Amino acid sequence: MKLTTLLAPLSLVATVFAQGVIEQSLTTVNEQALELQQAVESWKGSFLGTLPIIKESTDILDSIHKGTKAAKGSPPLDVLGAIGVAVATQTLAQSVNTTLTTLIAAKPKFDKLLLSPAILINLSLQKAATTKMSEVIIEKVPVELQPTAQELIKPIDAAFEFAIQRFHF
């Protein structure tokens, strides 16, 4: 049996694994972003009511860090894997937009509790963590698709920048 024949199923497994790990991480971050959106949307403005928001906000940072670690350990993506990651990135970009739009709408309530500076700090932390995660994921994308990957990340970056400006005084 030829060596390449022996290795073919292995590389297939590696590809599916790579696709799975990065996509799964993005899906987790996406789910957490939507949970944060829910928490902010259902918040009436009480101090105790901020607890679920703080929890979701902390969880999201945690899952971004975990995603970065997972992506670092992932083998490079092939074209098919990169497409899967691209789709997951677009879904995430949509959720980040919705979540941050909801967060901006709730700013007057955060202002009343003097919590806006804390939200601002965490938005900056989340933006930095997302940038780091994106860099690691882009390194795993085939070189010819990296410019496209950069484009897909841009709306996420822009959404954070937009929200950070709104929370800045």
Ligand X SMILES: *[C@@H]1O[C@H](CO)[C@@H](O)[C@H](O)[C@H]1NC(C)=O
Task: Using CB positions, name the residue nearest to ligand X.
Answer: 159
Among the residue ranges 3-11, 80-88, 114-122, 132-140, the one whose residues contact ligand X (CB under 6 A) = 114-122
Angle between helices 50-73 and 116-140 (to 10 degrees): 20
- Using the 8-state DSSP alphabet, how is residue 169 labeled? -
Determine which residue in the list 61, 64, 136, 153 makes contact with ligand X, applying CB under 6 A. Answer: 61
For the CB of residue 149, give the shortest distance to ligand X in the complex, in Å: 19
Determine which residue in the list 54, 83, 145, 164 makes contact with ligand X, applying CB under 6 A. Answer: 54
What type of residue sits at position 96? V
By beta-carbon proximity to ligand X, the closer residue of 11 and 41 is 41
| C-alpha span between 80 and 82 (Å, rounded) | 5
57 near ligand X, judged by CB under 6 A:
yes
**Quick check: 103 and 35 in contact, CB under 8 A?**
no
The CB density around residue 57, as the number of other CB atoms within 10 Å, is 23
For the CB of residue 154, give the shortest distance to ligand X in the complex, in Å: 11
For the CB of residue 80, give the shortest distance to ligand X in the complex, in Å: 28
| C-alpha span between 92 and 130 (Å, rounded) | 11
Write down the residue that tokens 């049996």 correspond to: 1
Name the residues that contact ligand X, by CB under 6 A: 54, 57-58, 61, 97, 100-101, 115, 118-119, 122, 159, 162-163
